[in-house]
Structure 1
Amino acid sequence: MAPPAAKPPGNPPPAGNPTATPHTATVANVPVDTRHWIAGARVTSATHAPTATFTDHSPIDGAPLAEIARGTAAEARAAVAAADAAFPGWAATPPAERAALLHAVADGVDARAEELAAVETADNGALLRSHRHGVLPRVAHNFRYFADRLLALSRPDFETRGHTNHVTWDPAGPAVLITPWNAPLMLASWKIAPALASGSTVVLKPAEWTPLTASLLADITHEAGLPPGVFNVVQGYGDEVGAPLTAHPAVRRISFTGSVPTAHRIATAAAAHLTPCSFELGGKSPLLVLADADLDLAADLAVEQYDNAGQVCLAATRILVEESVRDAFLGRFLDRVAKLTRGDPRDEATDIGPSIHPRHVERVDGFVRRALAAGAEALVGGAPDTRLSDASGGNYYFPTLLTDVDQDSEIVQEEVFGPVLTLQTFPDGDEDEAVRLANGTRFGLAATLAAGDRERAARIAARLVAGTVWVNCFYVRDLSAPFGGSRRSGIGREGGDWSFDFYCDLKNTVTAPKGWSDHG
């Protein structure tokens, strides 16, 4: 099958101007301060001179966007000290006041939504229309939800032999939040909002490939009235600033979204001080298509896995189809893929934008080349889109579907994190084999199931190892629901009260029914 047609990139305006001022870059016509945000002030990385900055490039065209302050252990220590100093006052702030400040942050996000969307698209290459209509509204919603949830947080008292048990959530202390590049602001706010709502203070370390909207968020929190030190942003590389943050003895919580190897390093550092960690890690999720499924719906769900150029941890990259409907499903799927438009993510007609970085394209292509060498067949794609990349200067990869893959092969077992899907089949009616294939990796983040029979779907869903199972849908998320992964896909759950359980120390106060004076 011929590769899907690409939209000519045209000549869009440059994404950024990194030399607007010594500490400000103009990105998508938006000024962005490139320094850290520590203790309510902008801070450079003077201790790292003469390499006090690093260059942030746009994946759309490879253009330099900004020279970003490059953090070191000194900035890490300063940020944690600021968060630690601010913690007592923030923890003592009445919940209603904390909630009102979080609502003010949400208002600030809404007020700057267009700017945030434009900068985020320039920085990480995801579709501008998705940022406008999906991602940025969720950012504001994250702050509003956890602000409101804070005010409703309670558990009923209960009795033990006449004694009253009363459960409360005590703020834990400074939290280090390390966030990924595939949905920078949304995933950061998913952690920041409950941490701040709980009464903990925050040091955010954004991914070095996408640091810009974290800096804009610092401005928004300042304008909303957050006290100095309550929210801090330190930019830079993991080994230079992330490592000293996670090893700091004053840090009381660490939340990380990213790769399994990095989580191992963070857990090792945190173990020295018994710092609790929450990890949302890799995925290799299945999409099971049963013979009685609506195959048009199933094909739509499968194509949706190419969203954000496949750079979605939840993506169901392993398509498992009941044998009798393989060809019917495949025809529908390939028809839809042929209609996808690749190109500049700022164009409303674009369906698939660039991958995040040239090194990431090489990594994705390495997986595909090794799979092809091992005997896999590419029914569509299978290589970088060099024509589009050469024309635009960006990082583009063809949407790819590989068949003739073994269950134990690298391409089936390891997370590619790109627009690469595999197709396997299982015998008709063999639910055991379907479940064996679905559960047959070290991961367990999510699973998607397309089915026509409600009882059969429920039976199979109950056997899947996953933090989230979607049946005849995908990526439906509610903040009240627990979110996280099983096996190597993570530790812990976030969302609803589960987030407060993590960012707080739960306390149970047991009160006897007697022993009181007559005076109260």
Structure 2
Amino acid sequence: MSEHFTTLAGVVVDTRHWIGGERVASAETFTDISPIDGSPLGEIARGGAVEAEAAVAAARAAFPEWAATPRAERARILHAIADGVEKRLEDLARVETLDNGALLRSHRRGVMPRVAHNFRFFADWLLKLEHEDFETRGHTNHVSWDPAGPCVLITPWNAPLMLATWKVAPALAAGNTVILKPAEWSPLTASLLADIAAEAGLLAGVLNVVQGYGAEVGSALVSHPDVRRISFTGSVPTAKRIAAAAAANLTPLSLELGGKSPLLVFADADLDLAVDLAVEQYDNAGQVCLAATRILVESSIVEEFTERFTAKAARLVQGDSRDEATDLGPNIHPRQLEKIDGFVRRALDAGARAVIGGEPNAELGGLFYRPTLLADVAQDSEVVQEEVFGPVLTLQTFDTEQEAVRLANDTRFGLAATLVTGDRERAERVTAQLVAGTVWVNCFFVRDLRAPFGGSRHSGVGREGGNWSFDFYCDVKNTVTAPKGWQQEVTRHG
């Protein structure tokens, strides 16, 4: 096997970039490590300014033809990509499990089917994308969505392919060309996506995949003057650097930046439901931007809630992500585990109490951190205010509805919120006051691509999903036509 390939769980993955319809190597590589057992997965091409320039040039060259491709044909190709994803679903699931440590059963049953759905949804939405014409003093207004140009899409490591295609699919549907920069901790399924797209008949240069570090290839991409859109999912500090680079070219940005979401449990709630939703926040080892990591419980029920929560959390199985019985896998990287443990240790030193967990799982070793619930935490403490991005929840109490809302909104984030109550009127009052891009009432993580998605405050800029995606990835144009003048033009030139 060539040095440019790696074979994982029987799946061959090309470790080079995909630029202009060809595989491109780099002078340097970086080692991709599996969080499950620390084994090396491959030597990945490490891009920089040269590869960034080549990818943007390829995207720019391919743009006119792809932008002029009729909507129906673009939609057909996106459906063909979805067919390819479904055909290789098991390959994608196995590779991504090794690469980012998330559960194989989740990849098989939910994540990879969602990847295919992303392409199908935006392909179908494209065909019905329209705005009804309207009149202004007898003049006709016609709204259209024009492709913007090359788009740089920078994606995270916690759900690599699903979150990448959440951006890639609408950008391609809109008629744009794409440079995808996957996270360096989980780059492999992006490479497989390039193969699938090529097999589906996507024109060379329409989708480019460039691997490497953000400070190297990422910086070169987001500062490039020929890039027309940038979409990024990740941390606030990185987003600020991207925004500063994009500002020089006035490149429009869409930023989804994580959160510190609350879960409010009122005394009139279905307590079994509330506990189920709270324990669900440990999904993907807590590496979920939408996770409601701040559990806020009405004081009168906190003892019963805590008892039930502790019992249910104790039944979670932590272990190898490839095992069907596993509920919690490892965290992604040694640096991430160190960050998580640092948050917890500082909180404990400051007087917090670990109701459960509070340390790495010494029995498993490696990158496994015990599911943790911290009580006796101050509202202004670091662990309450900052995103941990690990299996760490905090428990606080409130006595009134007003106090619950105040605590829920008292962070710099505003991505999501979850509310559990048996009172419909209370739900309406509270949700109206919560600062969040998404609010779930008596449920969690119900997502629909027709809905707007994004965050408030430091959780992001902009919304994507449905028409909101096309509004971002296109130049929206309004054409105003006068009712008279046609005959005069014919007479003058005839």
> 1:179-233 deviations in whole A, cap 9, x for unaligned?
0000000000000000000001000000000000000000000000000000000
Among 80, 95, 98, the alignment partner of 2:56 is 80
> Does residue 405 of structure 1 match 2:381?
no
Residue identity matched to 1:202 = V
Among 197, 205, 211, the alignment partner of 2:173 is 197
Query: Shift of residue 319 of structure 1?
Result: 0.2
Task: State the number of aligned residues.
Answer: 490
Residue identity matched to 1:21 = S
Aligned to 2:457: 487
Aligned to 2:304: 328
> 1:313-358 deviations in whole A, cap 9, x for unaligned?
0000000000001011111111110100000010000000000001
> Does residue 37 of structure 1 match 2:37?
no
Among 88, 91, 101, the alignment partner of 2:67 is 91
Among 36, 45, 48, the alignment partner of 1:69 is 45
C-alpha distance in structure 2 between counterparts of 1:282 and 1:132, whole Å:
25
TM, length-normalised to structure 2: 0.99
Among 33, 38, 42, the alignment partner of 1:57 is 33
User: Helix, strand or coil for the counterpart of 1:506?
Assistant: strand
Residue identity matched to 1:410 = E
> Does residue 441 of structure 1 match 2:411?
yes
Query: Shift of residue 132 of structure 1?
Result: 0.3
User: Helix, strand or coil for the counterpart of 2:165?
Assistant: helix
Query: Shift of residue 29 of structure 1?
Result: 1.3
Aligned to 1:476: 446
Larger deviation: 324-333 or 54-63?
324-333
> 1:227-278 deviations in whole A, cap 9, x for unaligned?
0000000000001100000000000000000000000000000000000000
Among 158, 164, 168, the alignment partner of 1:188 is 164
Cα root mean square deviation, aligned: 0.8
C-alpha distance in structure 1 between counterparts of 2:310 and 2:10, whole Å:
39
Residue identity matched to 2:418 = T
Query: Shift of residue 517 of structure 1?
Result: 1.7
User: Helix, strand or coil for the counterpart of 2:364?
Assistant: helix
Aligned to 2:250: 274
C-alpha distance in structure 2 between counterparts of 1:439 and 1:134, whole Å:
31
> Does residue 454 of structure 1 match 2:424?
yes
TM, length-normalised to structure 1: 0.94
> Does residue 418 of structure 1 match 2:399?
no
C-alpha distance in structure 1 between counterparts of 2:165 and 2:265, whole Å:
34
Structure 1 consecutive aligned stretches of length 4 or more whose deviation exceeds 2 Å: none
Aligned to 2:281: 305
Query: Shift of residue 405 of structure 1?
Result: 0.3
Aligned to 1:223: 199
C-alpha distance in structure 2 between counterparts of 1:449 and 1:405, whole Å:
21
C-alpha distance in structure 2 between counterparts of 1:217 and 1:282, whole Å:
25
Among 354, 358, 363, the alignment partner of 1:382 is 358
Matches within 5 A, 1:136-151: 136-151=112-127
Unaligned runs of 5+ in 2: none
Unaligned runs of 5+ in 1: 1-19, 47-51
C-alpha distance in structure 1 between counterparts of 2:181 and 2:196, whole Å:
17
C-alpha distance in structure 1 between counterparts of 2:40 and 2:266, whole Å:
47
> 1:136-191 deviations in whole A, cap 9, x for unaligned?
01000000000000000000011100000000000000000000000000000000
> 1:386-418 deviations in whole A, cap 9, x for unaligned?
2201xxxx3100000000000000000000000
> Does residue 23 of structure 1 match 2:12?
no
C-alpha distance in structure 1 between counterparts of 2:262 and 2:2, whole Å:
48
Aligned to 2:216: 240
C-alpha distance in structure 2 between counterparts of 1:137 and 1:325, whole Å:
39
> 1:23-77 deviations in whole A, cap 9, x for unaligned?
000012100000000000000013xxxxx10000000000000100000100000
